[in-house]
Amino acid sequence: MALSLTQFDLNLLVVLDALLTEKSVTRAAERLFVTQPAVSGSLARLRDIFEDPLLVRVGREMELTVRARALAGPVREALLMVKAALGSEESFDPAETKCEFRIAMTDYCSMTILPRIVRELSARAPGIELAVEGLVNKSFDRLETGEIDFLLTVVERTLLMHSRHPDMLRGADAFEDCYTCVVAADHPFDGALTPEDFRAYPNATVSFGENTFTTDRAAYEHGGLDQSPALIAPSFSSLLFQLQGTTLIGTVPNRLAEMFAPMLGVRLLEPPIRLPTLTERLNWHVRSDADPGHSWMRNLILDVGRSMGPRKGAPA
């Protein structure tokens, strides 16, 4: 049966979008800052309108029906277009606003810049919720569909995606770091790390899902120091935990190394060659440019990043 727009409550689209995203009445209610019975009532109306259950229980979880999955993209896109059209007319008071922003980032960013962002939000905008998810291969797709608002990742990955979607992405550099080599406290090497020393010991690196690219690996390869790693860790922080009792040499961002060094007893060494600066870039979709709330949030993130200042390398 064809739906008549004149008979459809457009406010239900907001509820439908939350339900399709969260796959939970409870979480959808929390996201919309309304009661669970109110969302349950809206779901009942939506089921009648679409003549489909939309959400069904499979074991202990709720799953989308085939019809619901087909609706998810168009519903989200329609809401984003409406929001973009009305955004320039909206006012935004961070101290009084209740809303949610979603951001994808690596564990490195979650341990360095995220605590500072959370403190700023707590002080300046207590009603804003920040939902953080790990960076995965589909994060740029989620940014495109509006499932997340921001994506924080290294500038090299951003430039790669921008070349594929030049009209979609907007971005600004958030903060910088440098790379440092790390070894266990009882590592036999002691002194200034030379290229020959680097080659003499097993190497540890990281791989983010299917993406094995890291800025330091590219630099090592260019400098003739690339070698098959003895360890591929899922994150920089995980790599640091694997060093004790080994002769591995790892390369990680300096801020993270300094953070974990006292706890793990690792030593920081100057890399054997000059490595490029690690630049983390904040990305968002072009449709959010004029949204006052989005603009306020991204400026907060960028201000926090600038307050972190430049980073010098590890002592030799």
C-alpha to C-alpha distance for 75 and 80, rounded to whole angstroms = 9
What's the pLDDT at 212? 53
What's the pLDDT at 99? 86
The number of beta carbons lying within 10 Å of the beta carbon of residue 124 is: 12
- Taking CA atoms, 10 is separated from 22, 90, 154, 214, in Å, by 19, 19, 39, 45
Q: For tokens 């690596």, name the residue.
A: 106
User: End-to-end distance of the chain based on CA atoms, in angstroms?
Assistant: 73
C-alpha to C-alpha distance for 77 and 285, rounded to whole angstroms = 12
pLDDT in tens, the chain (316 residues): 556 555 677 788 889 988 988 889 998 888 888 899 999 999 999 998 888 999 998 888 888 898 988 888 788 878 877 776 665 555 788 998 888 899 999 999 999 999 999 999 999 999 999 999 998 888 888 888 888 999 999 888 777 776 676 678 889 999 999 999 999 999 999 888 999 988 899 999 888 765 555 666 767 776 777 778 899 898 999 999 999 999 999 999 999 999 999 999 999 999 998 888 999 999 998 888 878 899 999 999 999 999 998 775 544 4
C-alpha to C-alpha distance for 14 and 26, rounded to whole angstroms = 15
Classify 179-276 by CATH class.
alpha beta
Range 99-176+280-307 has CATH code 3.40.630.150 = no
The answer for residues whose C-beta is within 8 angstroms of residue 112's C-beta and 6 or more apart is 175, 177, 253, 255, 256, 259, 308
Residue closest to 215 by CA, chosen among 231, 230, 226, 199: 226
Coil vs helix vs strand at 276: coil
Provide the token pair at 111: 């341990």
Count the residues in the chain: 316
- CATH code that applies to domain 5-87: 1.10.10.10
The ranges of the chain annotated as CATH 3.40.190.10 are 99-176+280-307, 179-276
Q: For tokens 């069904």, name the residue.
A: 56
The ranges of the chain annotated as CATH 1.10.10.10 are 5-87
Count of CA atoms in the C-beta half-sphere (13 A) of 301: 28
